[in-house]
Structure 1
Amino acid sequence: MFSKNGNKRVSFSKLETVLDLPHLAAIQTDPFEDFLQAKVDPDKRENRGLQAVFLQVFPITDVQEIYSLEFVRYIIEQPRYTIEECQERNMTYGAPLKATLRLVTRESEGNTSKVKDIIEQDVFLGELPLMTERGTFIINGAERVIVSQLHRSPGVFFDEEVHPNGKKLYSARIIPYRGSWVEFTLDVNDIMFVHIDSRRKLTATTLLRTIGFSSDADLLRAFHKVVEEPFSAKKSPNKFIDRYTAEPIVDPETGEVLIEGAELLTEEHIAKLIERKVSSVKLLDIDLSKESPVLPNTIAKDKKDKIRSAEDALNRLYSLIRPGDAPTLEMAQALLEKLFFNPKRYDLGDVGRYMINQRLGLDIPIEQTVLDKKDFVSIVKYLLDLRNGIGEVDDIDHLGNRRARTVGELLGSQFSVGLMRMARTIKERMSLRDAEPPTPQELVNARTVSSVIETFFGSSQLSQF
């Protein structure tokens, strides 16, 4: 058996070695190499680590879309000093990080715009601390290690609490890697609400209307089985009492709506149907002795709040998130898109998408790290099942629902913060343009990125001696 440096290792144990000792520092070195992709050709790097952070932030455009700063590649040069020299001189062991950026200038011609000028330059972004073979960093001459962080995994988690009257109340929480938290809750009256970023609540059906289930009938068909049954005054019509309608029942002659959808049929309703000679009715297949009418109850709350269409729901959502602003339909749709379906604003991460797929039995591609319509539908269905005694809740403190954020992921989040700040200053400088177009080097202030990285390595709780 040979050690890593090539020396022969002699074992005096009586038992034979069954398994070689693993390289325990690999939990530090492998994620860092994966983050940098330093050994990969710059034009062939995969969309992960530092490459993914750059692609998330760029391109950066000004308000009038005259200038556009695009990312081409990044280069990590050779370290200027060795590890021993850095320790002797109280310096940081690192290498210069440069990014090749391309500034595209456009000019408008009528309704179209054409490219006027392209400037491509290498821009220095600061010194990037490098990891030693031992999985440590040399920061100001001192050897430091970045501790992996154990945190709540992105995904969906179901929970329960007991109301003072003894009733179990269920909830579901979608935790993203980046973006707005969404929590579905059932209250004591069996009405389902949704909270976005812990703001004021709105009904879950209001949110579902914004993503495609605009009418009551659409909502009921998505979550319950609908049966069409013949109706006649001669064939015991009272058997339909205490059953829910699946869609509005209309007069066969005049087309007048007699009973709305999601209504509980009463004796008065039956008498009206007999009078108007209705021949068939579409009802929900719900056994009220075993199932709770959560969805009809929630739709009834919508009726009180006068939310009857997708447009009403979008306006309600907009007024909840942006109170005081007068909403338009386009603005409300754009806000919904930003909240859950824009990769720049919302990110479940590969882990979050995998966890949701596993928990709900979905087959959405791992690459899709934003929410999908199927996610919302499956979560509401699972909550309805929990209320009816089917399924299990999660233990949020179970280690299966937690994950370790390694050094590569922690550095990625720090670079993201630094580049976002840099993007804001670049936009400001673009708007303050002179007669001559600026260059990428004039637009970029490298200090914003390097200061974030220095603060993380120098004073973060995760950076230990």
Structure 2
Amino acid sequence: MKNLILMLCLIFYKFLFFLSDFLEIQRKSFYWFLNNQFGKEFSLKQTPGLIFSYDFIYNNYKFLRPALNIQESIIRSKTYCCNFYIPVRFSFLNESTIQWVFLGTLPLLTRRGHFIINGTPRIVLNQIVRSPGVYFRQNSSSVNLYYAEIIFQRGPWLRLEMDSKKKIWICIQDIPRLPLETFLQNFHQKYKDNILFRKQSQSSPILIQSLNLQLGFLGRSCLNKKLNTRVQNLSLTPIDLVAISNKLYELTGGSESESSSLCDDIDDLRNRRLKTIGELLKNQLTRGLIRLKNFFIKKNKKFDQIIETSSPSQVLRNLIKIGALNSQPINSTFKEFFHSHQLSQYLDQSNPLAEITHKRRLSCLGSGGISNETAGMEIRGIHRTHYGRICPIETPEGRNAGLVNSLTIAVALNFQGFLETPFVEIYKQHLQNQKKIVFFCVEKQMSQNVFFNQKLGKSKNLFVPIIKSQTQKKCAVDHIHFLAFHPQQFISIGATCIPFVEHNDANRVLMGSNMQRQALPLLKLEQPIVNTLNSFRILSDLRDIPTTFRSGIITYSSSKVSKINHPKINLLYENQKKKPISKPNILGLEKIQL
């Protein structure tokens, strides 16, 4: 009997609780920002070359406990946030001193995955954007002409295009295109100080625009892979431009079929990554520090009177008293982001399903994305790499159709921001249940033979379809490496809440998932006649209901009291609602001190 119970527990654990929390992406991203990225933004040298300068001691920042809790913030129409301080070393000539400086307030993410801004719940949508790197595309005006787009971590894109005379030009946003030779002649100076010059004449160089050519680790690895180079510099180099030019000449000289197969598909999820809450807040903090630096440099020009009248130590104390560093630049940046950014929205709280669906949305819109006015049908359509990652059914109706989507129930996010989906390993047509479930991004999935079904035929001469690169091929069942984990892993939470969804039409499922989010909850709770797998997880992952902090067996339950048996202690819980309800509320529990 014990062995049977143990086996049932193992099956229950593997096939039900392997899925992560539905709001894990939001919570992990914010935790990553606080613990790994917050201090790194202060690590760069801020004011080099100034008489009166400052540097952050970025390893010793601290957060204060929020002055108001979540309930008090809602009642008083305040923001649920905390103040952060960082030690700053102020230097003037040979004198220096260290002082703790209050630099701003940071809005905090609640355990339910949203923010409280001026007493109102708001969320930040995940944004899906082009990954940094280089992408080769075919020119729409001519069949035999190609161009390359270089996407950086931040700032405008760089485009290398070839004309009919096989001459390569460089195009930058709002700047007339330049010949590649002119750009490379002045690239050494650009490589030093991140400023691009163009020579109008031999005597006077003209400043065109300050550029940020930082590729980052992800962009550098993409360039090295596509260009077959081993450059370690995380910025764009002249070697990269020469290698991209050679690649364009190869594409032009090759056959049309070979060249088209080497071009990149911009809608492929190998070339698109997710920007989560942590990364978006990190970008806003960077903008705030840039404003703080410009404010300090601007105010530094007004320090001449103080410098001329006092000793260096007295001058340093007077300069610090002036308040050259304050919280206004960073606070204003966060305020603009949460109040006016396209990805910051009021939380939909019609019912728990509407709330969790809103928090698991991803958008192509916003800064760094695309506009719904210029988006075509290609980017709105369903791509083959969306399987198990982006729901092909649930999307808003209207002008944002296909631009705002929902994550599937089993999706995960790797450290680079690419979406992953689970698979079960198979060896010679036998499932390897003793092994862990593996999560694959699109890049790893294409290197394996994956069959998108849970069942595999036993016939040796059977061939099944698989997806490889940009085409669909057939593979023998003996060479299949992985199978899909669950038949519902390719749809979103709202679609899985529809009973017998596999027997329904896709258009009707779209309308049904949207109408479920418009339903109003009942005052008197009732168990549904037909239930689905994820209905319980919606309530538990949202933290709408209190849950026990220990696992155990429910030995007694009524409309007022529930008792849970634990090997070490016995827990007694009382239901939150004082009025009796029609059925025992096992989930709505509140702990009683025994």
Common fold, TM-score beyond 0.5?
yes
Q: Which deviations, in whole Å up to 9, do the C-alpha atoms of 1:377-423 show, x marking residues without a partner?
A: 22111111101115511122323222111111111111122221121
Tell me the equivalent position of 2:41.
Answer: 53
Q: Residue 175 of structure 2: SS of its match in structure 1?
A: coil
1:386 aligns with 2:251: yes
DSSP 3-state at the match of 2:39: helix
After TM superposition, list the pairs within 5 Å mapping 1:199-210 onto structure 2. 199-210=175-186
Counterpart of 1:126 in structure 2: which amino acid? G
Following TM superposition, by how much is the alpha carbon of 1:327 offset from its aligned partner in structure 2, in angstroms?
A: 3.3
Moved over 6 A (4+): none
- What does 1:13-412 correspond to in 2, within 5 Å? 18-20=15-17, 21-37=19-35, 49-56=37-44, 58-61=45-48, 65-73=50-58, 74-106=61-93, 115=94, 117-163=95-141, 167-210=143-186, 318-319=197-198, 326-327=203-204, 339=211, 345-365=212-232, 368-389=233-254, 391=259, 392-412=262-282
Q: For 1:350, what is the secondary structure of its paired residue?
A: helix
Instruction: Report how far residue 432 of structure 1 moved.
Output: 0.9
Deviates more, 1:175-184 or 1:419-428: 175-184
Query: Letter of the aligned partner of 2:85 in structure 1?
Result: K
Q: CA deviation at 1:28?
A: 0.6
Q: Is the 8 A contact 2:46 2:293 kept in 1?
A: no
- Partners of 1:457 and 1:167 in 2: how far apart? 45
- Name the residue aligned to 1:254: none
Deviations 1:353-400 (A, max 9, x none): 2222232233333xx421123311221111111011155111223232
Offset of residue 69 of structure 1: 0.9
Select 2:302's aligned residue among 428, 432, 443.
Answer: 432
- Larger mean CA deviation between 388-397 and 66-75 belongs to 388-397
Contact 2:102 2:326 in 1 (8 A): no
CA shift for structure 1 position 16: 8.1
**Once the 2 structures are TM-superposed, how far is the Cα of residue 441 of structure 1 from its aligned partner?**
6.7
User: Contact 1:348 / 1:370 at 8 angstroms: preserved in 2?
Assistant: yes
Residue 16 and residue 180 in structure 1: after superposition, are their counterparts in 2 closer, same or farther (change >3 A)? Answer: closer
Please tell me the residue identity of whatever aligns with 1:143: P
| Contact map agreement 1:61 1:427 (CA 8 A) in 2 | no
Q: 1:209 to 1:66 in 2, by over 3 A?
A: closer
What are the within-5 Å matches in structure 2 for residues 3-22 of structure 1? 18-20=15-17, 21-22=19-20
Deviations 1:294-352 (A, max 9, x none): xxxxxxxxxxxxxxxx9xxxxxx7336xx699536xx99xx99x64xxxxx33222322
Are 1:446 and 2:327 matched, yes or no? Answer: yes
Shift of 1:17: 5.1
Contact 1:103 1:440 in 2 (8 A): no
- Deviation (angstroms), 1:454: 1.6
Q: Return the offset for 1:209.
A: 4.4
Tell me the equivalent position of 2:342.
Answer: 461
Quote the offset at 1:132 in angstroms.
1.4
Cα shift at 1:61: 4.2
Shift of 1:426: 0.7
Q: 1:346 to 1:202 in 2, by over 3 A?
A: closer
In 2, Cα distance between the equivalents of 1:364 and 1:83? 49
Unaligned runs of 5+ in 2: 1-7, 190-195, 308-314, 348-594
CA drift at 1:440: 7.1
**Distance apart, 1:24 and its partner CA:** 2.1
Residue 23 of structure 1 aligns with an amino acid whose one-letter code is: D
Q: Given the two structures, how large is their TM-score scaled by the length of structure 1?
A: 0.61
Alpha-carbon distance in structure 1 between the residues aligned to 2:106 and 2:152: 28
* Mapped partners of 2:148, 2:174: distance in 1: 13
Q: Report the alpha carbon displacement of residue 167 of structure 1 after superposing the two structures with TM.
A: 4.6
- Please report how far the alpha carbon of residue 187 of structure 1 lies from its aligned counterpart in structure 2 after TM superposition: 0.7
Distance 1:59 1:376, change over 3 A: same
CA distance change for structure 1 residues 448 and 16 in 2, over 3 Å: closer, same or farther?
Answer: closer
| Alpha-carbon shift at residue 162 of structure 1 (Å) | 4.5
Is residue 186–residue 198 contact of structure 2 (8 Å, CA) maintained in 1? no
State the Cα deviation string for residues 190-243 of structure 1 (Å, max 9, x = none): 22222233522232233344558xxxxxxxxxxxxxxxxxxxxxxxxxxxxxxx
Report 1:405-424 matches (<5 A): 405-424=275-294
Displacement of 1:171 in angstroms is 0.6
Over the aligned positions, Cα root-mean-square deviation in angstroms equals: 3.0
Q: Distance in 2 between matches of 1:423 and 1:100?
A: 16
Matched residues in 1 for 2:175 and 2:166: separation?
20
Letter of the 1:388 counterpart: G
Equivalent in the alignment of 1:224: none
SS at match of 1:184: strand
CA contact (8 A) 2:77 2:120 kept: yes
Matches of 2:179 and 2:341 in 1, distance apart? 41
Other structure's SS at 1:399 match: coil
Tell me the distance in 1 between the aligned counterparts of 2:16 and 2:229: 38
**Structure 2 CA distance, aligned partners of 1:325 and 1:180?**
28
CA pair 16-140 structure 1, distance change in 2 beyond 3 A? closer
Deviations 1:11-42 (A, max 9, x none): 99x988525131121111111111111xxxxx
* Number of residue pairs matched by the alignment: 314
Structure 1 residues 455, 202: closer, same or farther in 2, change over 3 A? closer
- The one-letter code of the counterpart of 2:117 is I
